[in-house]
A = this chain, B = another copy of it.
Amino acid sequence: MKHLLTTNELKVEEIYQILEDARKFADGMVWKPEKQFFAANLFFEASTRTKSSFDVAEKRLGLDVVPFEALTSSVQKGETLYDTVKTLEAIGVNLAVIRHNQDRYFDELVGKIDIPIINGGDGCGHHPTQSLLDLLTIYQEFSRFSGLKIAIVGDIRHSRVARSNADVLTRMGAEVVFSGPKEWYDSSLNLANYSPIDEVIEEADVVMLLRVQHERHEKKGGFSAGEYHQKYGLTLEREKRMKQGSIIMHPAPVNRNVEIADSLVECERSRIFKQMQNGVYVRMAVIKRSIESIQGGNQYETAYSKRILHSI
Contacts and interface: CB of A to CB of B under 8 A. Distances in A.
B276 A91 contact: yes
Contacts of A77: 46, 214-215, 253
Stoichiometry (number of copies): 3
Interface in A56-95: 56, 59-60, 64, 66-69, 71-80, 83-84, 86-93
B46 A72 contact: yes
Contacts of A277: 90-92
A56 B191 CA distance: 51
Contacts of A56: 38, 64, 66, 91-93
A131 to B, nearest CB: 17
Interface string A246-266: 000000111110000000000
A279 interface: yes
Interface in A239-295: 252-256, 273-274, 276-277, 279-280
Contacts of A280: 91-92
A214 B78 contact: yes
Contact of A59 (B38, B46, B69, B214): B38
Contact of A69 (B48, B84, B254): B48
Contacts of A74: 46-49, 253
Contacts of A71: 72
A207 to B, nearest CB: 19
A52 interface: yes
Given A46-B76, A91-B280, A92-B56, A83 B254 contact: yes
Interface string A89-109: 111110000000000000000
A155 interface: no
A52 B276 contact: no
A228 interface: no
A55 B69 CA distance: 13
The 6 closest A-B pairs by CB, nearest first: A90-B276, A48-B73, A90-B273, A79-B253, A46-B72, A74-B253
5 contacts: A38-B56, A48-B87, A56-B92, A59-B66, A91-B277
Given A46-B77, A49-B87, 6 more contacts: A46-B74, A48-B74, A56-B92, A79-B253, A83-B252, A90-B277
